[in-house]
Amino acid sequence: MAEASSGAAQIGFSPAAGVFYEEVEQGLRSSPRTLPCKYFYDAQGSQLFDAICELPEYYVTRTELEIMRRHAGEMAERIGPGVMLIEYGSGSSVKTRLLLSQLDRPAAYVPVDISGDHLLSTSERLRVSYPQIEILPVCADFTESFALPRPSTRPTHNAVYFPGSTIGNFHPAAASRMLRTIVELCGCGGGLLIGVDLQKDPAVLMRAYDDSQGVTAAFNQNLLRRINRELDANFELDAFEHQSYYDTESHRIEMRLVSRCDQAVTIGGEEFGFDRGESIRTECSYKHTVEGFAQLASEAGLALRESWTDDDERFAVLHLVVAD
């Protein structure tokens, strides 16, 4: 990876409209039709996701926070002193605070998020809370190559913090590729602290991804609003219904937007027809076992050192290191 010059307050990145359009067009021309879930997180989408995390049905954030509150000290000890901590998808950084408060003399904290405004606001709040830690936000799509900042203090090693079960959004083959890029980023002596949502009763999952207040539905439909705004499209949001579906064979839950009627949508001058009942898959979230994920990580060059779960074993936080 290329490095930016020392002292940068932020490395800027935002997906070009052309790239956004190409990915949307490719997804809508595919079968089944899809949209990239990484584009959920504009400013409004990030706010809606923060609201989802507070919902009683959405156990993921609450459970991971419980694990972090119990074990953040142990996790920081495993990560070790002098680390440059790189967080994928910094979000609201609530869990990050628990970890940063326990780390021993970290060289820097590097939050990486695709939502620039959200990233900068959370980074500024963290700077106030942790003036002793150099905070270097990077606005980037962490699924692609991005430049790492060079902190003023040389780190002893790099470690990636990847909370929130975002790794579940990747097909296992794509997750393996993502883990390999983390190995390359961290290098010898590096490590990974990652949240993994575990397999459980499908009814629990369905409630988590289709809440009674409709916040998840608004989050899903906001992707269409963003496409309208940034790609000159004319999606009628009310003409698409949010649905969730659990695939028992693949152990994954899907979010979809289902057309309520026969309709045509124009995006940047290009027309896309939808039949009534036709769906667009906007997200897949694979659920793992600790043993199964450890095997997936091993194939990518990471060795499991320790795992922590809640009492009901709904969620796990795993510490892995780059294998010798």
CATH number of the domain within which 124 lies:
3.40.50.150
Per-residue pLDDT at 216:
98
Per-residue pLDDT at 282:
98
In a domain? residue 262: no
The closest of 33, 64, 19, 51 to 168, measured between CA atoms, is 64
Q: CB of 171 within 8 A of CB of 297?
A: no
The number of distinct structural domains making up the chain is 1
Q: CB of 272 within 8 A of CB of 28?
A: yes
What's the pTM? 0.89
In a domain? residue 256: no
Query: What residues make up the domain containing 60?
Result: 9-224+288-324
In a domain? residue 87: yes
Q: Which residue has the tokens 């409630």?
A: 207
> What are the phi and psi torsion angles at 264 (to 5°)?
-125, 140
In a domain? residue 239: no
Per-residue pLDDT at 7:
35
Q: What is the pLDDT of residues 194-205, one digit of tens each?
A: 999 999 999 999
In a domain? residue 204: yes
Q: What is the pLDDT of residues 57-109, one digit of tens each?
A: 999 999 999 999 999 999 999 999 999 999 998 766 789 999 999 999 999 99
